[in-house]
Structure 1
Amino acid sequence: MNEKGEQLEFSDFSRILYSYIGLGDEHPKFVLELLSLVYLGDDGFFCNQNNPFLKMNTSTLNGYFRGSKKISEKNAVFIKSNFDSTEFIDKIDSLSVDLKTNLANELGVEDTDIKALPEKCADVFLQIISDIASGKKQEKVLLNTNSGQKDLEQKYGLSLLQECNSLCPLPECSKPLYVKKEEDKQPYFQIIQINPQKPYDRIYNLLAVCPECAAKLNMQKTEHDILRLCEIKRRMQKNEEVSEFAAEEKIEQDITALIEKITNADGSELSELNYSPVELKKKFLPLEHFLEDEIKPRVVKYFNFINGLLKQKVEKENFNEAKFRKSVKHIYENLEAEKIEKTQIFEAISGRFHNMSKTSYIASQILASYFVQSCEIFREAAQQ
């Protein structure tokens, strides 16, 4: 529990920390690395044969990060019994003062002295794990106010609509969760709790449904209704995970193929741009010239070459270039939402490409530079 008296779950804590120490990592990998930072043992977290987390699949680890799956009491006991905050504290302490201040605000420990923040973070982490290990349950909180509904819509509305493809997920309904006004579609839905005995403000316990179904379920929700809603939620999450995995696997293959081509490119295959990269210049303010100066030579030397690679993939493979570019842009937008500096975003995307390809980091930076010029990464500076 933080100093505001709000209960943080493992998923809340890990998603907050991801913005500061996990950039470039896949979510499942970050969960393992986060746990390894608080692990005590001479053999190391990744070597202990009794470590239950190393046997878990990507879907389960991703579920821990997103909050759709819960760490068991038994596994929480394993973490608690091997807890050592030394490396974790060092990791937090390595952040800049500004980042530490932002982290304190997000965790709800604003009154904590910045020098003491790393230890406080470790205390919060241990408390979360201890609560799980002891089987402690959160108090029931009812969602029955307009302000609560609005808060949830702002926080989770888009994700919940994407989860059900903007259709009421109850099989007997399936109405669109929007209304058409002239040429626009306006959202028309309500968020309901699945199980009133569980925390109301966690995405795993929420569904977006049409107002008519919401009224019926809020008026009277039987045990059978709860079980049915749980199954609907489970099925949608499973479909979403399968879809995300397939999309992630495809983009990894495409990124890897491009980076391998860049790494093995012969000098004779490269033709430099015969003009100054205009789009690139629009992305940076005068004070951001260091990053611009770093990216520009790569764009000049490799932009035409990478354009040609993409054209070949369209002609020779079943390659959807528009979808591929959209996936890259989605990676950028997720990082942009974390409100971090451009240099950190660029390094995170380059690191993500490098993790996907497991080859040249320089080639990963070259590819990231290409997407800056072709507008998938960074917006025009005047629009920010």
Structure 2
Amino acid sequence: MRKKKKRISHLLTSGVKMLIVDLLHCLKKHLMKSDDSIAFMRTLIQMLCDIPEEAEDGELDPSSPLRFTDSSLRKIYSSGFNKKISNAILSNLSSANFIDAINEGWNDDVLENLCNDLKEYDREITKDNLGKRLFSLLKNCLLESADTRTESEKKLVSARNNSEKAKKNFGESLLIDCNFKCSIENCGHSLITILSDGESSAKYEIITLSKKRSLQYKDLLCVCNDCFQRYTLHCSPEERQKLLTLKQAQMNRRTAMLILDDASLHKNISKLLSKLSEMTELKETQLNYDPVSVSKKLDGTAPFVFVELVKTYVRYYFATIDSIMKDLARQNLYNDNLIRAQIREAFLSLEEKGIPPQTIFDNMVGWIQNLTKQNEQYCILVVAYFIQSCEVFHVITE
């Protein structure tokens, strides 16, 4: 059975003991080649602590045999930090001391190899931030073992762990459900942040409406950070019930948007494409018929919301529209080459004017709707199809 990876989001859970043992063994493998686990533990404690010279090797020094015996450290290496040693280390903890020890004590190859193994615990760790992120990783383990946090802090940590897990499995869908705005009533804070380089990023948390251990889509809502903290610490049963009603409304809207009646979909898409086939002006243009993912067609200049919505339309409808087009072509009701060429020509004429991607998309939807007099929803699906099949936008070169 393949070993399940432990991410940093799992850090402060009931598996902390197992995590710290794996982490200690990983560090020893890279930082100390000998089998002396006791010497390793004393070295690691010295790296983590800032001990005054007069207290070194004495009873106030957590790395000293006078404070913790060899058998105690051997047990900790095998079973994880206990409350006593965690409190002793935390009272002398020094991030500067640890970061300096990491940066100055080992060569680049050792640090690079250590980073590669530690990505199992923190996927954002690099050689440049190794000392800082490894210190944070160890500190959180010590805090959990020492159990020094308040109940509120524990609630928030647990809620953030669940939020990270939910993002991985449901994040994209939940953001679309709430239209990229905080789900809490009377908040509506945007969950999209524009970065300094002009790119957009989703900044949000996910709250759980049920107390069940398993995370289910029907119990999850996207919110901003402020509402996440308030909900986690001060949510009343009445508010939770209101949010469950809101969640049902979001799910109903999603169903209306994504699950169209098959007969209606075929009828309306067929009508739209047949109308497009009535166009007679065909200009020579080079076409690429190899479907490429939307992510490779829209770079960081395209708004996050726009990219995610187009990807959703493609995921749900590309195969259906492709099938309809082939059926119409077989019946001689649809000229595939003509349509693709016209769509491509329309895109190129807009691109030449320096229009941004979302505006090009909106213009093409309006253009098709004006030509065919069909419902805008079906025009959107058709333009999304042509983005995926390469008539609209170019493949981004690496």
Please tell me the TM-score bracket, short chain as reference. Answer: 0.3 to 0.5
TM-score (norm 1): 0.36
For the pair shown, the structure with the greater C-alpha radius of gyration is 2
TM-score (norm 2): 0.35
